[in-house]
Chains A and B, each alone.
Chain A
Amino acid sequence: MNDGPLIVQSDKTLLLEIDHPGAAACRTAIAPFAELERSPEHVHTYRLTPLGLWNARAAGHDAEQVVDTLLEHSRYAVPHALLVDVAETMARFGRLRLEKHPTHGLVMSSTDRPVLEEVLRSKKVAGLVGARLDDDTVAVHPAERGNLKQVLLKLGWPAEDYAGYVDGEAHAIALDESEWTLRAYQKEAAESFWHGGSGVVVLPCGAGKTLVGAAAMGHAQATTLILVTNTVSARQWKDELVRRTSLTPDEIGEYSGSVKEVRPVTIATYQVLTTRRKGVYPHLELLDARDWGLVVYDEVHLLPAPIFRMTANLQARRRLGLTATLVREDGREGDVFSLIGPKRYDAPWKDIEAQGWIAPADCVEVRVTLPQGERLAYATAEPEERYRLASCTHHKIDVTRRLVAQHAGQPTLVIGQYIDQLDELAAALDAPVIKGETPVKERQRLFEAFRSGELGLLVVSKVANFSIDLPSAEVAIQVSGSFGSRQEEAQRLGRLLRPKEEGKTAHFYTIVSRDTVDADFAQNRQRFLAEQGYAYRIVDADA
């Protein structure tokens, strides 16, 4: 019997025993084709999905390699059906190719005629292709390149795109590494992207995705369009680019609700692009305003649906997606694959943490017991009110105050969902609060103060969740949060996982009311954190 670290299950999950001496080698071997699903302390779970296998195919791995890897590292014999399935799935990728034809422009060709016949017979494909050039080739309208790829993926025959990219308008961009250096994994990520052509780089929050973007721009040496989630994040990108590259502030334009600049490097928000007036998207022309050589998508997992449609028309340009997770709450992972590109780089959080780039986090669940009166109110409340009642107990304010006192001197964020509760907390803690209604200017001022250390305590609502860089937060206390979605947790944790000075540990507290729906949601959170490999402690507030 082989004594490998991997166990291959017939339901297509791979279990990796990480205390095994061969675990590290095995992890490297399976990472290209298996998606890490959970990484708790002893056994990591990976899953084989068609998308994952196609990602591997796109990266140049073939089925035989995958099968060999599984057989080599597997402790037990590998289910036969699974091997057959892997081979069949991987064989589906690349049967169809999108290519440049010297006379006909963009064409779709196939070495496997029945496959071509099958997809051409599909109604969804019919409108996207042109004349049949010969038995194995059919013309494709350049504008339908993205749509076609999307449809083909849905049909289970993902096409390989060999049609290449336009160079775009040249623009000199260089990394300015005088005071810092690109980390090894960032460099690797940028290079894998560049060799792959287009695609997505998956790195945890705080692992320096902006720098991967900057490095990619350094490869491209061309005008770049950067799409980000919101204005605050746009400004952070700009600051970072000015600091880390040869670009000057004049070369970088912001294209948002308030400012509309088009410069060699333009940073636009998703929101402004998806603004609709009288059924048209007036800012869509930005995409054609310059001959972009590179389009960067920040937080790909949040990319709104209209941007997907627009991206379908950008297939001739290089596209880089940056994200902490490929998991999309709307399940449109396939669209990311076909429109932006396959995954080009991925590193498990824990690994990056072990390399010292991310502070280890100490996750603590603090349990409070509702006082008798509130318990009764909770018991008799309407179901839709219950979560609010449970998560807004006054008890939590006392506990928060105690925690804040305990971590006095460390930059602390208090995160919540309900405005009333946040206001109360702000009053009790004597700290400023950032809510949805806080103007951008004011937000920036507060964030800046927090970042510089002027302000040691900040109460934020969930508007602050996405893509705002708060590098110096060492303690986060979450008092309420809606329904513990996986994405939200990743963001909250990301808040704390930014690189810290030597040896500092970040603390992540969630305060939970015992025996209520709050505790039920906390269980999802606990599971998520444990699955991400974080030690998770439970502490009783009353004890």
Chain B
Amino acid sequence: MERMAGTSSTGTTQVARSLADQLRGWPDDRLAQLLVARPDLATPPPHDSGQLASRAATRASVLRALDRLTHGELAILSALVTAGQTPRAEVPALVPGTSTVEHAVRRLEDLALVWESSVGLRPLSVVADLVSRSTLPEGAPLDGPPDLVVTEHPAERVDRAGAGAAFETVHRLEVLLDAWGNQPPVALRSGGLGVRDQRSTAALLHVEERTAAFLVELAGAAGLLATGSPGELPESWLPTDAYDAWCRRPAAERWVDLVRTWASSARIPGRVGARDASGRVLNALAPDLVDPHAVDTRLLALAQLTALAPGAALATGTGVPSLVARLRWLRPRRPASQDALAAWAVEEAAVLGVTGLGAISTAGRAALAGDGDRAVELLTPLLPEPLDHVLLQGDLTAVAPGPLLPELAGRLHLVADVESRGGASVHRFSSGSLRRALDAGWSGQEIHDFLAEISRTPVPQALSYLVDDTVRTFGTLRVGYAEAFLRADDPAALEELLRDRRAGALGLRRIAPTVLISTTPIEVLLPRLREIGAAPVVEASDGTVRVARPDVHRARTPRTRGAGRAAARNAAGITAAVSAIRAGDRAGDLRPPDPTGTTPAAALAMLRQAIEAESAVWIGYVDDQGGSTERVVDPVRLEGGRLTAYDHRTDGERSFAVHRITAVRLVADRPDGA
């Protein structure tokens, strides 16, 4: 309560002994401001002002705070650093030629970079260290940022141009994701989109590659695109299920979503196609295509534009450089990449339709201010209304003079090919496209009805003819599965067979007066037909009759080997088995009474001894599968951590890893070999 009483004053009149002391004296809202401006101080919530002050004085945190200072503020801060503690009234004298010192000092205090002691204002000591190292650009004005170079456009035209771009972008994402839903591009192992896919995307959307990269990235950031492996395809980029829901919403709402996504995305599609530090080309959708300053710079750049009067646009050519210069003044400590980030922000805003003709549109302004409903309200009347009809023409095209209702568009895409799309779309009918509809189960009449229904004008005769022509030739050739065919010159014979009850299970179907087909394989069919009493003859694939003799079964003659060789093989097998058994017994006998292991050093010593003595040893060995075995071997040599020895069990030389030998026991005398 006592502290609360102290906060009633602004804190600047009371003399503080430390930063912590000063913070303690701040009113709550000012403290809150500090935590908003320097969010890193707030997580996790500090215990008390002391901890807050010490956090605020850490090098990392101060660096972040310095990053957000303008050129003018930094100039004052560095003057304070040089001058040491300075009474408030004397500060303006430190930086001659500025009129905004008071404001700047206030901000430095707000950010807890400067506090006021009994002697005067003093920067945090760590600030002194960091600021003196940063070099300030010479000659830049201290008073305020350089102005933007602007031109004026009628606000109404700006809004129309912006709405045009907005619609295009929403529409292009739809085209893109529809196309990728059908033919998804493979995701690179590094997670990005291949250069070739990006190029074909640009061609698909009629945009430059950089714009294509931006749109792809936008879809990704908006959660409309993700990797997945559908069916047997490799990991690919696919529209997400959120996309389907997205499609059903009004265009204006979708656009507002995209603007929000974009404004808060750290991704930098502008870098696509450039090379990173190690010389690798950066791909769209690659995970490392981010910049920590992207969001901040984008918002700052947009804030400069929104601060202009409605209709004021960046001038062609000189506008963007002036914006870059302004941002440099506002954030002088940012890396040089800030310039590019700002230019991209402007470019992307134009593609997205946040700006039109270079000026922020009213809808864009609302969307950026977070007022989504207002943005939708402003944009909707500028967007084309979905249509329920098309114009059918004698050159076999259908022109939709605006976007079509999704359901209608779906049906039209089935019967016609898209030739040109944008605000309006041109669809061409061809026998191929009509056949596609017939394949999908439409009848000729349905196509005629559909055309009559969607057209505001009479259906051109040429189109009706095309439909009829296509229907007439559709399905002239029929293809189906059959296991066997049955033909006879006498239709009556086939009729008889077809009606025979016993033939019911044979799956017979008549496809011509003299031809039946069957779903039963020929091997089964033949005896069945004979049982029924028919006398079938088998035709070969070339149409000739294959004469079949009655089936008499024969077995394959077994091959025999010479008796001597077999005996020899058996003898060898037995010998091997015996030696294995013997060796096993021996090993068992020789198992030391104490199951303890041998130390590696002792084991090595014993093995060497055995080699010298040419004697056999018993070893415990852990094999590749981790099972422990025991065997008796005659060690031959020991080198490179491996023991080469004659193994009694397998009757041959093999090598053992020494570190897997768990125990070694000398065997009194060498057993007789097999």
Is residue A7 within 8 Å, beta carbon to beta carbon, of the partner chain? yes
- Are B401 and A7 neighbours in the complex by a CB distance under 8 Å? yes
Which residues does chain A contribute within 8 Å of B163, judged by CB atoms? 77
For window 1-23 of A, CB contacts with B under 8 Å fall at 1-2, 7-11, 13, 15, 17
Of chain A, the residue at the smallest CB distance from B205 is: A10
B401/A17 in contact, CB under 8 A: yes
Comparing A230-238, A332-340, A441-449, A534-542, the segment that makes contact with chain B is A534-542
A11→B353 CA distance, assembly (Å): 18
Pair A8/B423 contact, Cβ less than 8 Å: yes
Task: Determine whether the beta carbon of B399 is less than 8 Å from that of A15.
Answer: yes
Q: Which residues of A contact B351 (CB under 8 A)?
A: 80-81
User: Which chain A residue lies CB-closest to B164?
Assistant: A77
Identify the interface centre among B157, B160, B423, B426: most chain A CB within 10 Å of its CB: B423
B423 x A526 contact (CB < 8 A): no
* Binary flags per residue of B164-189, CB closer than 8 Å to A gives 1, else 0: 11111000000000000000000000
Which one, B390-398, B539-547, B556-564, is touching chain A? B390-398
| B639 → chain A closest CB, angstroms | 70
- Please measure, in the bound complex, the distance between the C-alpha atom of A71 and the C-alpha atom of B154, giving whole angstroms: 13
* A40 and B165 form a contact (CB under 8 A): no
Q: Is A76 close to B, CB under 8 A?
A: yes
Which of B295-303, B332-340, B457-465, B522-530 lies at the interface with chain A? Answer: B457-465
Which B residues between 316 and 367 are near A, CB-CB below 8 angstroms?
350-351, 353, 356
Listed stretches A41-49, A180-188, A294-302; interface member: A41-49
**Interface: B382 (CB within 8 A):** yes
B423 touches A7 (CB 8 A): yes
Partner of A75, one of B384, B394, B421, B462: B384
* Known A-B contacts A9-B424, A42-B393, A76-B402; A1 and B382 likewise in contact (beta carbons under 8 Å): yes
Chain B residues near A535 (CB-CB < 8 A): 394
- For the complex, give the distance between the alpha carbons of A77 and B461 in Å: 34
User: Would A71 and B160 count as touching, CB distance under 8 A?
Assistant: yes
A76 engages B167 (CB within 8 Å): yes
Smallest CB separation, A482 vs chain B (Å)? 22
When the two chains form the complex, which single residue of B393, B421, B423, B465 contacts A530, counting CB atoms closer than 8 Å?
B393
Q: Is the CB of A43 within 8 A of B393?
A: yes
Q: Is the CB of A7 within 8 A of B394?
A: no
Q: Contacts A75-B384, A77-B163, A81-B211: A11 and B206 contacting too (C-beta < 8 A)?
A: yes
Q: State in angstroms the CA–CA spacing of A90 and B211 once bound together.
A: 22
Assembled-state Cα–Cα distance A26/B465 (Å) = 34
Q: Point out the residues of chain B lying under 8 angstroms from A75, CB to CB.
A: 384, 401-402, 423
Which residues of A lie under 8 Å from residue B167 when comparing CB positions? Answer: 76-77
How distant is the Cα of A535 from the Cα of B394 in the complex, in angstroms?
A: 7
B interface, over-half SS: mixed
Known: A76-B402, A80-B165, A80-B350. A11 touches B422 (CB 8 A): yes
CB distance from B651 to the nearest CB of A (A): 75
A194 to chain B, nearest CB (A): 36
Q: Give B561 Cβ to nearest chain A Cβ, in Å.
A: 62
CA of A13 to CA of B418, assembled, Å = 14
Q: Is A136 an interface residue (CB 8 A)?
A: no
Contact-residue size bin, chain A (C-beta under 8 Å from the other chain) = 20 to 34
A531–B396 CA distance with the chains assembled, in angstroms = 9
B366 to chain A, nearest CB (A): 17
**What 1/0 mask marks residues of chain A from 68 to 110 whose CB sits below 8 Å from any chain B CB?**
0001000111111101000000000000000000000000000
Tell whether, in the assembled complex, residue A77 and residue B161 are in contact, meaning their CB atoms are under 8 Å apart: yes
Q: Chain A contacts of B640 at CB under 8 A? A: none
**Is B473 in the interface zone, CB < 8 Å from A?**
yes
A76–B384 CB distance below 8 A: yes
- In Å, the complex CA distance between A76 and B350 comes to 17
A501 at the binding interface (Cβ < 8 Å): no
Residue from B351, B402, B426 whose CB has the most chain A CB atoms within 10 Å? B426
B424→A7 contact, CB < 8 A? yes
Asked if A527 is at the interface (CB within 8 A of a chain B CB), the reply is yes
Q: A430 near B: Cβ within 8 Å?
A: no
Across the interface, which residues of A come within 8 angstroms of B168, CB to CB?
10, 79-81
A43-B399, A75-B384 given as contacts; is B350 within 8 A of A9 (CB)?
no
Question: 8 Å CB contacts to A: which residues of B370-405?
Answer: 381-385, 391-397, 399, 401-402
Q: Are A527 and B395 in contact (CB under 8 A)?
A: yes
Which residues from chain A contact B162 at a C-beta distance below 8 Å? 77
Q: Are A11 and B165 in contact (CB under 8 A)?
A: no
Cα A5 to Cα B334 with chains together (Å): 50
CB distance from B664 to the nearest CB of A (A): 81
For residue A515, CB closer than 8 A to chain B, the reply is: yes
Give the residue of A40, A42, A79, A515 whose beta carbon is less than 8 angstroms from that of B422. Answer: A79
Task: Indicate whether A38 reaches chain B with its CB closer than 8 angstroms.
Answer: yes
B493 close to chain A: CB less than 8 A: no
**Which among B167, B208, B402, B422 has the highest number of chain A CB atoms within 10 Å?**
B422
> CA A75 – CA B384 in complex, angstroms?
8
Query: Contacts A77-B163, A78-B164 hold; do A527 and B396 have CB atoms under 8 A apart?
Result: yes
Cβ of B281 within 8 Å of any chain A Cβ, yes or no, is no
In A33-64, which residues have CB < 8 Å from any B CB? Answer: 38, 40-43, 45
Q: With a CB–CB cut-off of 8 A, which chain A residues contact B391?
A: 17, 42-43
Find chain B residues with CB under 8 A from A71 CB.
157, 160-161
Q: Which B residues touch A530, using CB under 8 A?
A: 393-396, 460, 462
In the assembly, what is the distance between CA of A527 and CA of B466, in Å? 12
A45, B426: Cβ atoms under 8 Å? yes
A15 touches B421 (CB 8 A): no
Whether B577 is near chain A, meaning CB under 8 Å from some CB there, is: no
Determine the distance from Cα of A17 to Cα of B389 in the docked complex, in whole angstroms: 14
Closest to B396 in A: A527
Chain A residues with CB under 8 A of B605: none
Interface status of B309 (Cβ within 8 A of chain A): no
Chain B residues with CB under 8 A of A10: 168, 206-207, 421-422
Contact A40 B462 (CB under 8 A): no
Residues of A within 8 A of B420 (CB): 9, 11, 13
Which residues in B have their C-beta under 8 angstroms from that of A40? 393-395, 397
For A80, give its contact among B164, B392, B421, B473 (CB under 8 Å).
Answer: B164
A40 to B207, CA, bound (A): 28
Q: How far is the CB of A467 from chain B (nearest CB, A)?
A: 27
Of the residues A9, A80, A81, A527, contact of B423 by C-beta under 8 Å: A9
Q: Give A515-543 as 1s and 0s: 1 = Cβ < 8 Å from B's Cβ atoms.
A: 10000000000110011000111100000
- B161's partner among A7, A41, A80, A527 (CB-CB below 8 A) is A80
Nearest-neighbour CB distance to chain A for B245, whole angstroms, equals 25
A13 to B287, CA, bound (A): 37
Asked whether A15 lies within 8 Å of B426 as measured between CB atoms, the reply is yes
- Bound together, the chains give a CA A42 to CA B457 distance in angstroms of 9
Give the distance in Å from the alpha carbon of A13 to the alpha carbon of B164 in the complex: 16
Q: Residue among B157, B162, B382, B394 with the most chain A CB within 10 A? A: B394
18 A/B residue pairs, CB under 8 Å, sorted by A: A7-B424, A9-B424, A13-B420, A17-B391, A38-B395, A40-B394, A40-B395, A40-B397, A43-B397, A71-B157, A71-B160, A76-B402, A76-B423, A78-B161, A80-B165, A530-B460, A536-B394, A538-B461
Binding site for A on B (CB under 8 A): 157, 160-168, 206-208, 211, 350-351, 353, 356, 381-385, 391-397, 399, 401-402, 420-424, 426, 457, 460-462, 465, 469, 473
10 further interface pairs, Cβ-Cβ under 8 Å (given A40-B394, A80-B350): A7-B402, A8-B422, A9-B421, A11-B420, A43-B397, A76-B384, A76-B423, A76-B424, A81-B351, A530-B393
Give the 6 A-B CB pairs with smallest separation, nearest first. A77-B164, A9-B422, A530-B395, A530-B394, A76-B423, A40-B393
